[in-house]
Structure 1
Amino acid sequence: MMRLACFMAAALFGFAVHAETSPQAQDMAWQKAAAKFAPERKAILDKVAKGVAAGPFRPDWASLQGYRSPGWYDDAKFGIFVHWGVYSVPAFGSEWYSRNMYQQGTKEFAHHVATYGPQSRFGYKDFVPMFKAEHFDPDAWATLFREAGAKYVVPVAEHHDGFAMYDSKLSDWTAVKKGPKRDVIGLLAKAIRGQGMHFGVSSHRAEHDWFFDGGRRFDSDVNDPANAELYGPAVAHLSKHDEILSDDWTYVSQAWLDDWLARTAELVGDYHPDLIYFDWWIGHPTFRNTLPDFLSYYYNDGAKRDGVVVNYKLGDLPEGAGTLDIERGQLTGIHPTHWQTDTSISNESWGYIEHDTYKSPTFIIHLLVDVVSKNGNLMLNVGPRADGTIPQAAQDTLRSVGAWLKTNGEAIYGSKPWRTFGEGPTEVKGGMFQDTKTKPYTPEDFRFTTGHGKLYAIELGWPKGNDVTVHSIQPTDKVTKVERLADGGTVAFTQDAKGLHLRLPSHPVGSDAYVYRITLANPIKASP
């Protein structure tokens, strides 16, 4: 019945699936290639079973929904995401080059054939020796990220392409054994923690089950069993839209789920990440029986330390079982539990591509302020070049953000939302992939945070005149003092039914967003 369903789904979406290349047969070819790692895989899975049994989290959703994001993460507010891997070698299209170079009709397919030749002669595997990372300096990266004001850093440990950036015992296709021949994740963990930041990893391994399926439809190196360990099962991805999992008939074997669990647990056991970010495909129904085991194992391990974080997208986990991440998006109001948005400092891609453009410091600072006012964190992505250097435009923007945070971080780090997130005419579009669709903010747009017994009003533009009114602050709030964080100067003010009226200098004091520290006679009440 399963095989018949796969054939019917394939016919529905116009895929040519033949008996000799059925999903089960493709998966078996991968299982054969991965069989040599069976002892190591079993040892890790046995360790998971012991960790699950140790408690306090059980491998069931009722128990896992007792999870709460730890205080260090709630207070951090700003983190750095890093997409770096073999896909930075072609530096074309996006970090999905590994998939799209096998998707006939795409610009990546055409570019690949024109630049490197047919995929039967030069496949994705052939980029691996070109990924030398000769200028990779983990200490320099960590210094830059600390200067940017980040409190945690999350490099991609394995992207959809199946190349592990760490020293995996379950694969020969790792950055230790091939390419850079260095434990990228291990080196970054040491450097980042050495500069006082928390360290996490991102795993996109789940999607690798089908990521190279385009190579099955024509003469390519994906069809060579000798390459099965890198390319994975490459089973047909039978969904009209990647993001709609309820309409996904993609075949997933138990062997693949066991391997996913072992590889993800391996990251926990060897690197003890404070955070793990999962991409969207862990929401596929077949993962529902495997995820609780991993989450229980990871949360139990984190309970021995300062607590850990799992970021998930969409409805991949039941509410409360992890920390919601809204990719390239925002919320329209204060969320009752802590959440996160992630976006890239570059406009076209998460991984490095040539001729990409970069967001301005003002854009990023405004996004950070809006997200924090709504009980969230911002994780900002950077895509280094294949040689390990970070583009100067990205470095400049990061340092500008860091300079703003050095002056105004009192209103951001460790803050809590106020009774309202903000005010002003600019409406934020809620949901995924909406962060660049919000119109530029105006001097009438304010965001609020609380902390240190103070209320912070953050103005997202400098007014043309000397007077500005904050309407959300009413006479009953009894303001006693207003100060500028930028220079410590006091601000003259009056209060009436229309709000708090501030008298400002003729010229901007500071840049990008202007923070007023407000002292109230009554105790501050944070929300939630």
Structure 2
Amino acid sequence: MRNLLLVMCAIILMSCSVKPKEKAKEKIKYEADWESLKQYEVPEWWLNTKFGIYFHWGPYSVPAHETEWYAIHMYTEGHPIREYHEKTYGNLKDFGYKDFIPMFTADKFDADKWAELFKKSGAQFAGPVAEHADGFAMWDSELTEWDAMDMGPKRDVVGEMAKAVRKQGMKFIATYHRHWLYAWFPTWDKTTDASDPAYEGLYGPYVPEGSFVMATGDYPNPPKKEFHEEWLARLDELMDKYQPDIIWFDNKMDIIEEDYRKQFLANYYNKAQDWGRDVVCTYKFEDMAVGTAVLDLERSRMSEKKDFPWLTDDSIDWKAWCDISDPKYKSTNRLIDFLVDVVSKNGAVLLNITPRADGTIPEGVETRLLEMGEWFKVNGEAIFDTRPWKIYGEGPQEIVEGHLSEDKNPEAVAEDIRFTTKGDDLYAITMAWPTETMNIRSLAKKEGLLTKNIKSVNLLGYEGKINWELTENGLQVEMPDTKPCEHAFALKIQLQ
């Protein structure tokens, strides 16, 4: 009897120690309705994600002249790029945009090598521009012959990158700009190849002259139903073939009727549940309803911390989004300072890089990515998996908000300090090496922001002891004589 009682007690204790199974996530049936789509919740992995890479790469990379908008400007009467094109390649009837496609060979493209570089740079997600405004799909499409599998490289660029990126443990992003195709090419102009019905699969359907007013971004003659349907069909194909973790859209998506935008989101979120994945969609301006996806800015950032996660995309080149003959690359220091500022305000950075038409990555681009990776090795814990603190930071740098405003923002200085937090750790990142005692004014006793005592202060990448003192005027830190890295410097403040 005694043994029986002991066995019964053991069974009871074991049953008490077994944790109940977590309740399975309830599947949501998303409808093509903004209220239904507001059930979406930004996944935890996205909140931990701070840095990604994508690339503008396509037939427009062949001329490598001035801009990825070469495709539209080469047809614009009186534009300098048209003059350049006609002098270099001939008239637009004999040599149009389609004729760059055979020259887009990508013979040195190595998806695995690219993905390895992105991983070394510190990126947590990466992927291609799946289709730019030029109508050329970079994947193996059943919906068009004007794609990278059938023409040009004759390779499934999106598919190869999806596989390579995931092999490196990163999330996969595909960006989609097809809505810009409407009236992008002058299909009404009989003096160019764009008016030939044989090329409608690339240049888009015939539209009357004046259907797109570039100066205002208006569309006086909106597209017909067929354009919207193909826009959605290509997205469905992208999703079904590659199951992207992130789908990113360029702005001016209001050219696509609202019902189709809602249907896309419903399709994406419903498919993702079938895949067993939590996904992210981004949008600009008011192209999606607030609460249904993640807001993205272009070449710009927030001036203050936000209570919602957001993204900003910018190019490594001040001048262009694709490879050009005379690039003006941003410094590594500028790229890192930008990222630190964005992360402190609850944002993440999507950095565009500029591969050459043959599939090589310019040395200036690769160098900067590797330098960012070296910085992350030292300071990554102050960025990845962090959350914004009570305030984003302090210092004299004033950020100008607004579309394409990044070139208006000044360089940061040592007095510009940004905060992030993780558990009981507070990180204070100074944008430049202090020339005297570092004083973090926001942490002053009189400010009352610190509600816990400081246990220790360490400089990431430096193994020695750091002398510090918390005063009424701030946290004063004596920085060592040796820098632990070349760019922004992170203090780890452990709180009790």
Q: What TM-score, normalized by structure 2, do the two folds share?
A: 0.91
- Please state whether the residue corresponding to 1:186 is helix, strand or coil: helix
Residue 471 of structure 1: CA displacement? 0.8
Q: Distance in 2 between matches of 1:491 and 1:162?
A: 57
1-structure distance, mates of 2:58, 2:210: 23
Q: What's 2:163 paired with?
A: 190
Asked if structure 1 preserves the Cα contact closer than 8 Å seen for 2:112 and 2:164, the reply is yes
Kindly provide the CA deviation profile for residues 31-82 of structure 1, in whole angstroms up to 9, marking residues without a partner as x: xxxxxxxxxxxxxxxxxxxxxxx95211100111222222222211000011
2:207 pairs with 1:232: no
Moved more, 141-150 or 497-506: 497-506
The answer to whether the 8 A contact 1:283-1:317 is kept is no
- 1:175-214 correspondence to structure 2 within 5 Å: 175-213=148-186
1:380 correspondence with 2:355: no
1:498-520 per-position Cα deviation (integer Å, ceiling 9, x unaligned): 11111112343322101000012
Q: Which amino acid aligns with 1:504?
A: M
- 1:165 corresponds, among 138, 152, 156, to 138
Q: Would you say 1:366 and 2:341 are equivalent positions?
A: no
Is the contact between residue 184 and residue 212 of structure 2 (CA under 8 Å) also seen in structure 1? no
| Contiguous gaps of at least 5 residues in structure 2 | 1-26
Pick from 183, 188, 194 the counterpart of residue 222 of structure 1. Answer: 194
For 1:293, the equivalent position in structure 2 comes to 263
Q: Retained in 2: the 8 A contact 1:449–1:457?
A: yes
Match of residue 349 from structure 1? 320
Please state whether the residue corresponding to 2:408 is helix, strand or coil: coil
**C-alpha separation between the residues in 1 aligned to 2:250 and 2:210?**
16
Corresponding residue SS for 1:292: helix
Q: 2 CA distance for matches of 1:241 and 1:355?
A: 25
Aligned partner of 1:173: which letter? W
Aligned residue identity for 2:192: S
- Mapping of residues 266-345 of structure 1, within 5 Å: 266-284=237-255, 286-304=256-274, 305-345=276-316
Read off the aligned partner of 1:323 and give its amino acid letter: V
The alpha carbon displacement at 1:490 in A equals: 3.1
In the alignment, structure 1 segments of 5+ residues that lack a partner are: 1-53, 522-528
* CA deviation map 1:127-161 (0-9, x unaligned): 11111111000010001000000000031111111
Q: How far did 1:381 drift?
A: 0.5
TM-score by length of 1: 0.85
State the percentage of identical aligned residues: 41
Contact conserved, 2:53 with 2:126, CA < 8 A, in 1?
Answer: yes
| CA distance, structure 1, for counterparts of residue 410 and residue 216 of structure 2 | 26
1:492 is aligned to: 467
- Using the TM superposition, give the Cα deviation of residue 240 of structure 1 relative to its aligned residue in structure 2, in angstroms: 4.4
Deviation at 1:241, TM superposition (A): 4.9
Q: Please list the CA deviations of residues 220-271 of structure 1 after superposition, one character each: whole Å capped at 9, or x if unmatched.
A: 0011111111110252454545665xx5323210111111110111100111
Residue 103 in 1 paired to residue 73 in 2? no
Task: Report the AA paired with residue 419 of structure 2.
Answer: F
Q: Which moved more, 1:297-306 or 1:384-393?
A: 297-306
Give the match's secondary structure for 1:369.
helix
The residue number in structure 2 matching 1:389 is 360
Question: Is the 1:65–1:321 Cα contact (8 Å) retained in structure 2?
Answer: yes
1:149 aligns with 2:119: no
1:108-134: CA deviation from partner (whole Å, max 9, x where unpaired) = 100110001000111111111111111
Q: Quote the Cα distance in structure 2 between the aligned partners of 1:172 and 1:355.
A: 33
SS for the counterpart of 2:418 is strand
Tell me how far apart the structure 1 counterparts of residues 350 and 216 of structure 2 sit (CA, whole Å): 21
417-426 vs 492-501, greater mean Cα deviation? 492-501
1:508 aligns with one of 437, 459, 483: 483
Contact 1:134 1:387 in 2 (8 A): yes
Counterpart contact for 2:247–2:281, Cα < 8 Å: yes
- 1:447 matched residue in structure 2: 418
Bigger shift: residues 203-212 or 482-491: 482-491
Q: Does 1:65 align with 2:35?
A: no
Residue 373 of structure 2 is aligned with which of 368, 377, 402? Answer: 402
3-state DSSP of counterpart to 1:200: strand
**Paired positions, count:** 463
- Which of 1 and 2 has greater Rg? 2
In 2, Cα distance between equivalents of 1:518 and 1:137: 42
Whether the 8 Å contact between 2:312 and 2:349 is mirrored in structure 1 is yes
CA contact (8 A) 1:80 1:152 kept: yes
The 2-side partners of 1:303 and 1:453 are apart by: 34
